[in-house]
A = this chain, B = another copy of it.
């Protein structure tokens, strides 16, 4: 089944309802039209078309189940938008469990006054992203809140994926001696959103790395590597992802700073703003912990995929009485990386 060709312009009659009203969330005629003419049209799936309280389908074996709400501001940024992010974000969480993403739900909180054209742009983008990632959006929900009680669009996606037999990457499986790999340069997504939101003009526009990672994970698993742990370094960046792994596994993770790929434009923007790229979110990168004996073939498998072209070996895992994350700089001095209390970059996902 080939994906539908969706019109560029919103299929709802904009002369009558150019913007979302409270009535669009009220369970009446306007909500029926919004769901039928906009959401079902874009997502166009036989399970969704059944118009029931939920979708039903067959599953067998071990499955992964995850959820994420997206509140990114602004809705559109270089390299993506909230719709694409909502699809790939959940696809990637499933992929990090070693699962093949299959089914997604999509639930919207719309702010009264949102331009219907903006909603259509987001929903179209979600459909395109779902096709790209090979997942189906099969059930959904819409709520509308009063002006000033939301912020244009919040999207929750939950996802179900199927786990291949014997595959169970998990932080607790990380062991001293493991090697830490990253699939590409870090910090793009956070800086792209930040620059767009704050109207910062750098020499070149930084585009988000936003991408679906299930294909890359499949290739990595197909290489025969026993992948101990996978994690996508989103909120809190590489530092938060590896910190969590260190705590869950009760180990020390030692990074080599010069080995961590950071694009020049991202590094420059971080320097201007006083940010450390280690703490800046990615949305199309993964961190993998594998046994040292597997490191070369794992790296080769990552590098052979378009989304892993910038893959690098960035560190190793050591035994430690206290879980921690360290970074050795270019000059050979090592520092402990603490988790910051919060984040310098709110609402980037």
A125 touches B (CB below 8 Å): no
Question: Closest residue to A32 on the B side, CB-wise?
Answer: B339
Residues of A102-130 whose CB lies within 8 A of B: 103, 105-109
Assess the A171–B58 pair: CB atoms within 8 A: no
A199 touches B (CB below 8 Å): no
Complex CA gap A161/B30 in Å reads 30
Question: Which residues in B have their C-beta under 8 angstroms from that of A96?
Answer: 52-54
Copy number in the complex reads 2
A63 CB contact (under 8 Å) in B56, B62, B108: B56
Question: Which residues in B have their C-beta under 8 angstroms from that of A54?
Answer: 64-66, 93-94, 96-97, 99, 159, 161
Question: Closest residue to A23 on the B side, CB-wise?
Answer: B342
12 new A-B contacts, CB < 8 A, other than A52-B170, A65-B103, A65-B138, are: A30-B341, A54-B65, A54-B97, A54-B161, A56-B63, A57-B62, A59-B61, A65-B160, A67-B106, A67-B140, A141-B156, A145-B154
Complex CA gap A44/B162 in Å reads 24
Question: Which residues in B have their C-beta under 8 angstroms from that of A171?
Answer: 51-52
List 9 A-B residue pairs with CB atoms under 8 Å apart, sorted by A's residue number: A21-B342, A26-B342, A27-B235, A28-B236, A32-B339, A50-B170, A66-B105, A141-B156, A145-B154
Complex CA gap A107/B109 in Å reads 13
A156 CB contact (under 8 Å) in B26, B60, B97, B107: B107
Nearest-Cβ distance from residue A95 to partner chain B, whole angstroms: 9
Complex CA gap A106/B161 in Å reads 18
Complex CA gap A240/B35 in Å reads 14
Question: Closest residue to A71 on the B side, CB-wise?
Answer: B143
Residues of A5-59 whose CB lies within 8 A of B: 21-32, 50-59
A271 touches B (CB below 8 Å): no
Question: Which residues in B have their C-beta under 8 angstroms from that of A346?
Answer: 22, 25-26, 144, 146
Assess the A342–B103 pair: CB atoms within 8 A: no
What 0/1 readout, one digit per residue, does chain A (136-154) give for beta carbons within 8 Å of chain B?
Answer: 0011110111101111001
A58 CB contact (under 8 Å) in B57, B62, B340: B62
Assess the A67–B26 pair: CB atoms within 8 A: no
A208 touches B (CB below 8 Å): no
Assess the A56–B158 pair: CB atoms within 8 A: no
Question: Closest residue to A162 on the B side, CB-wise?
Answer: B59
Complex CA gap A234/B154 in Å reads 22
Question: Which residues in B have their C-beta under 8 angstroms from that of A24?
Answer: 342
A172 touches B (CB below 8 Å): yes
